[in-house]
Structure 1
Amino acid sequence: MTDRHTDSPEELATEAVDLLKAFELTEYEAKCFTALCRIGQGTAKEVSEVAGVPQARVYDCMDSLQERGLADAQQSKPRRYRGSGPDEAVDTLERRVDEKLSRLGELLPQLGADAREEKGGEIWVTEGDAEVAERMARLVGDADTEVLLAVAVEDLLTDTLLDALRAATTRGVAVTVGSPAPAVRDAVASAVPDATVVETWTWWESHPIRPGAMSSVLMVDGHSLLVSADAPTDLPGVRTHRAVWTDGDDAPLVSMMRPLLSQAIAGDETATI
């Protein structure tokens, strides 16, 4: 992990420019704003020298930054510019992103019928530790009555998933989490105090799980199901998790897994996965 305290001002500025570009600022705009953050305020010539942007382009960049609410201009000769404070700038960018996400949330449902209303029993695949945990969190977020989760590895127990489990208990959903790993059980018990946490029977011979072994099973309201397993990657020594999941109870996999998971969570060692 990089020690941010050892980064030079130039390295910090370069990283800031890269991040600002992700918020639809051009490279020159991002460099000019970062320069203002470094010097507080200055003329176009001073901004140009610090940012490494041609002075003729600084004026256009400042006009754009003013329109975005990220800079102010002083009507003096020569004209001086001042950037928004760090907190104000972040709030401005966050507000613009929230507005776009809100609008996108309005538009997308209007583009067509919900595919889940037209088809049932479809199986989907998700790959990556964070992606699998995020999918589990979304399934838990839709829970109305019951969540059954058996999980063997801490990799999948992200803050997002724990937050979703805690929110589910707040809604009155019965949440039961089982694991053969003490660290997983302790983490869930601490983060989700209203959940039932149990030691499952162990279908993994040891911890961490063996390559290719099942790493989690989640069932929500008796019909949404996710099953994940350890999976290799193209990088040597690096592994991840791959999951198959469905949010409809028409899939044969759901009817097969429902009694097995229920028995596993209950500690019935006669079940076999």
Structure 2
Amino acid sequence: MTQYTSSDAGTDSLVEEAVSTLRTFELTEYEAKCFVALTRLREGTAKEVSDVADVPRARIYDSMDTLQDRGLVSVQESKPRRFRAVSPRESVELLEQQCRSRLDRLGTILPRLGSPDRSSSAGEVWTMEGETAVSERLATLVGDATDEVLLAVAVDALLGEDLIDALADAADRGVEVTVGSPDESVRADLDAALDGADVVETWTWWDSVPIEPGAVTSVCMVDGDALLVSADAATDLPGVRKHRAVWTDSAEAPVVGLMRPLLATAIRGDYRSD
């Protein structure tokens, strides 16, 4: 009986992950399996690929035709035909190029679809939820800053890579960036990641760290116009919580005028007194 080793299990796991990832690039399951098998073989016949990929031999040829069209496989017209995969580095570069081309085209098309006769109503306020969604919206607001960013944040979960990069880029552009937090570890991380930004201690919305359930998790204002406020919220699942936020990019929203002086004072000069 064939022994199944931990090494076999590790390889199988990598194969499954590679196939799953390739399928996100519009490859069918058979095409992804064939390419991964051919990468392991480097080159081989339809029978060899079929044996390694566990794909019906009748489906090998159409899968290889598609992979050849994508630039991922070369074909040698011998008898039997032989197939060769491009190197892993080349395959990643090809897929990245194809993906980038589609995104660039989409970036050209979508703005042309907007109606020139329709504009947002003044003072609109939007809601959203989810840690990643809130962090990405913060990054987008900061990325549009031209003059000033005021951000108070109490939890490191919202400080995703995109938000940190957006804050750093804003500071590099000469935007006045001030970030406040009641959490010493958050401030230390921000100090290390942000050159040219002021990182300060602020307690306006918080009594303790870690923050209490239901408390505000972040408040951000950009250029005195755009505003986002997020809070910790319970879910129906025991012990599971999420971030919910309201935001606006309209200076005409009444909440913007109310929050502007409070946020400026809280972040620039509010230190906890013992």
TM-score by length of 1: 0.93
Matched position secondary structure for 1:198: strand
Mean Cα deviation higher: 60-69 or 105-114: 105-114
* Cα displacement (A) at 1:85: 1.0
* Cα displacement (A) at 1:203: 2.7
- 1:113-152 equivalences under 5 Å are 113=115, 117-152=119-154
Matched position secondary structure for 1:266: helix
1:16 is the counterpart of 2:28: no
Which residue does the alignment assign to 1:267? 269
CA distance in 2, matches of 1:267, 1:160: 27
- 1:219-238 equivalences under 5 Å are 219-238=221-240
1:154-175 Cα offsets, whole Å, 9 max, x none, are: 1111111111001001111000
Which residue does the alignment assign to 2:43? 41
CA distance in 1, matches of 2:270, 2:76: 74
Which residue does the alignment assign to 1:87? 89
CA distance in 2, matches of 1:44, 1:86: 20
- 1:156-167 equivalences under 5 Å are 156-167=158-169
Letter in 1 for 2:143: G
* Cα displacement (A) at 1:8: 2.0
Q: In the comparison of the two structures, how many residue pairs are matched? A: 267
Which residue does the alignment assign to 1:168? 170
CA RMSD of aligned residues (A): 1.9
* Cα displacement (A) at 1:266: 2.3
Matched position secondary structure for 1:240: strand
Letter in 2 for 1:237: G
1:204 is the counterpart of 2:203: no
Are 1:209 and 1:230, in contact at CA under 8 Å, matched by a contact in 2? no
Q: Which runs of 5+ in 1 are unaligned?
A: none
Are 1:126 and 1:244, in contact at CA under 8 Å, matched by a contact in 2? yes
Letter in 2 for 1:17: V
Matched position secondary structure for 1:8: helix
CA distance in 1, matches of 2:114, 2:160: 33
Letter in 2 for 1:205: D
Mean Cα deviation higher: 91-100 or 7-16: 7-16
CA distance in 2, matches of 1:251, 1:176: 23
Are 2:178 and 2:267, in contact at CA under 8 Å, matched by a contact in 1? yes
1:100 is the counterpart of 2:113: no
Letter in 1 for 2:138: M
Mean Cα deviation higher: 143-152 or 199-208: 199-208
* Cα displacement (A) at 1:236: 2.2
* Cα displacement (A) at 1:93: 0.6
Are 1:141 and 1:168, in contact at CA under 8 Å, matched by a contact in 2? yes
CA distance in 2, matches of 1:9, 1:40: 16
Which residue does the alignment assign to 2:53? 51
Matched position secondary structure for 1:163: helix
CA distance in 2, matches of 1:232, 1:95: 42
CA distance in 2, matches of 1:178, 1:116: 37
Letter in 2 for 1:126: M
1:171-201 Cα offsets, whole Å, 9 max, x none, are: 1100001111111111111111210111113
Q: Which runs of 5+ in 2 are unaligned?
A: 1-6
* Cα displacement (A) at 1:202: 4.3
CA distance in 2, matches of 1:18, 1:231: 33
